Amino acid sequence: MNKIAELKFHITNPYSCSYLPDKLACSEVASPEYLIDDQMYGQLIQAGFRRSGHYTYRPNCMHCHACLSVRVNVQAFIPRRTQRRAWKQHQNLTATQHSLHYNADHYALYQQYQLTRHSGGGMDHDCREQYQNFLLQSHVNSKLLEFRDGGKLRMISIIDVLPDGLSSVYTFYDAEIPHASFGTYNVLWQIEQCRRLGLKYLYLGYWIKENRKMCYKANFQPLEVLIHGNWQLLADTSSLPDDDQ
């Protein structure tokens, strides 16, 4: 049964786009949050929504359609040679699963990651409260994953468990280790978890062709993209929407 009809939706005022410079963005927000349980959030994810803390939204920009929801078809996925190399490279990592919670070491790693990989992006000076609101608040079945190497913290990943898959919320890692492939390994690890749990998809959020930091998602094929309410292979680019300007 489709329960999305029970929700209310509103459009935000325009704000500076986090992904494309010199553009304004708007979001469609679902409320009230207490109605969004695991089943309903699964329906919202399938309709292109995403979660940031308690905030459930999807892009709703009048003159731009660059943000496209994508998911990996887990059973059909075949890793590339470079991905197999990343998987083998980080087999020394040990993953443990936890409920969402604050840890000073996690926050320090988050700050280091933002300053190293996303300096000037607006999140490199997030205070503890902003960090907690972004990653440690959830109204659905969310997990915090620690990845350690010999006891040394290397990576944190937040995931949501959905009826048909896992949703990769956010991952940050030690960005100062040369030649590491933590990000690639993490996506592969989540794909493997989907297989073990019998789940069909890994939802990777939004793919933006023009944003180089988002391009990595297209490397996990077959990747499905949501176009006009229908999921289709990303390889079929003929029906990808164009910007109006």
Q: What is the pLDDT of residues 33-56, one digit of tens each?
A: 989 999 999 999 999 999 999 999
| Class for the domain spanning 73-201 | alpha beta
Q: Could you tell me the pTM of the whole model?
A: 0.91
Residues in CB range of 179: below 8 A, 6 or more apart: none
List, in sequence order, every residue forming a beta bridge with 145; answer none if it has no partner.
Answer: 97, 157
Q: How far apart are CA 146 and CA 78, in angstroms?
A: 25
Question: What are 179-226's pLDDT values in tens digits?
Answer: 999 999 999 999 999 999 999 999 999 999 888 878 889 999 999 999
Residues in CB range of 33: below 8 A, 6 or more apart: 54, 56, 139
pLDDT, average across residues 145-151? 97
φ and ψ of 171, to 5 deg: -135, 135
Q: How far apart are CA 14 and CA 27, in angstroms?
A: 8
Question: What are 78-136's pLDDT values in tens digits?
Answer: 999 999 999 999 999 999 999 999 999 999 999 999 999 876 655 656 799 999 999 99
pLDDT given for residue 120 in this prediction: 60
180 token code pair = 């590491």
pLDDT given for residue 4 in this prediction: 82
The radius of gyration computed from the CA coordinates of the chain, to the nearest angstrom, equals 18
Domain extent listing, the chain: 73-201
pLDDT band at 62 (very low <50, low <70, confident <90, very high): confident
